[in-house]
Amino acid sequence: MGRVGIVRLEDLKDFVAVASRSGLRQAALELGRQPGTLSKALRRVEQHYQCALFDRQPGQWQLTDAGRQLLARSEELLALHQTIERELGQPRRLHLRLSGPETLLGHHLAELLTPLQAAYGEMSLQTHNDTGLTKLLRHQVDLALVCTTGEPPPVAGLKVRKLRDSEFVIVAGPGHPLLSEGRHHPIERVLDHPFVVPSQPLYGDTGSRLSSDGWHDEAFARRIGARVDSLPALMALVRTGSWLAYLPDYLASAPQLTQLTTEGCPYHCRQSTWLCTQTPLRKHHLAALME
């Protein structure tokens, strides 16, 4: 049977996503997709080109020669598509698409945009709230801000730049009872007071599956007095002086917050923040940001 129709751009995006990983299940897990959905997309691409793109071995998929050739051409096509989408209707204005957790976007936007505005003048920006690399790997954004607990994201085909290392700290607001006793306390004393915690991963990956802010509740259970889904709400509650919070040190310097230290707790949450993009870099402004 000959080829039918035109291969779908979305199917090629899925092919590139799977080809950049060790297999279908790994790709589905990282992208938040169903393996069956990705499998159907791959079958459509293989049926269109009438060749096998993968050598499917248990736990490890390898690209065939045809698969490697299609991967290279697909990356070129998707990059060209991004350029057309960006330039159509406003070819001279730089457009940047950036994803990341709300907190990272708010903290790093000015740092990233200032040199671009100085070099290119007027520009437009579109941000997406995404704690991982899903939108970047689907070619829906140009750059992604992500956090890890140490090493850079273990994804092939990425260029990464470390922006900062952070450590999480306990903070209190004005009038909190602990402040009348000083700033250093036994952990048991701290646990006598309620915490406000995020109900979603506002700070990105903290390495903990038991809490969204990196606290080891399995070892030092807290009194959770409030759960909120945004950083402004969390900060507002801390500033009432009724709740403590555990958050990255770059947020602890916000007005009206006081950092507390403890003894008796051996655990720490440390994060590295990375700026990520896909390779090869075909846009000069992205190359400048990644240096």
Q: Which fold has domain 9-86?
A: Arc Repressor Mutant, subunit A (1.10.10)
3-state secondary structure of 261: strand
* Nearest CA among 133, 159, 158, 157 for reference residue 145: 133
- Domain residues of the chain, as ranges? 9-86, 96-291
**Model pLDDT, residue 8:** 86
Q: Which two tokens stand for residue 4?
A: 């039918």
Q: What top-level class would CATH report for the domain 96-291? A: alpha beta
Mean pLDDT of 261-265: 93
Burial call 202-235: b when 16+ CB within 10 Å, e when fewer:
bbbbbebeebbbbbbeeebebeeebebeebeebb
CA 54 – CA 42 distance, rounded (Å): 9
pLDDT at 31 over 70: no
CA 5 – CA 11 distance, rounded (Å): 13
136-147 pLDDT per residue, tens: 988 889 999 999
Please tell me whether the overall predicted TM-score, pTM, comes out greater than 0.85 for this model: no
Mean pLDDT of 38-47: 91
Phi and psi at residue 83, to the nearest 5° = -60, -45
**Model pLDDT, residue 68:** 92
Q: What is the average pLDDT score of the chain?
A: 88
**Model pLDDT, residue 116:** 83
Amino acid identity of residue 182, one-letter, is G
Contact status, residue 64 vs residue 57, Cβ threshold 8 Å:
no
Q: Which two tokens stand for residue 36?
A: 């069956």
* Nearest CA among 57, 44, 43, 34 for reference residue 7: 44
> Percent of the chain beyond pLDDT 90?
51
CA 97 – CA 106 distance, rounded (Å): 15
**Model pLDDT, residue 126:** 92
Q: Which two tokens stand for residue 91?
A: 């070819």
62-89 pLDDT per residue, tens: 899 999 999 999 989 988 887 777 666 5
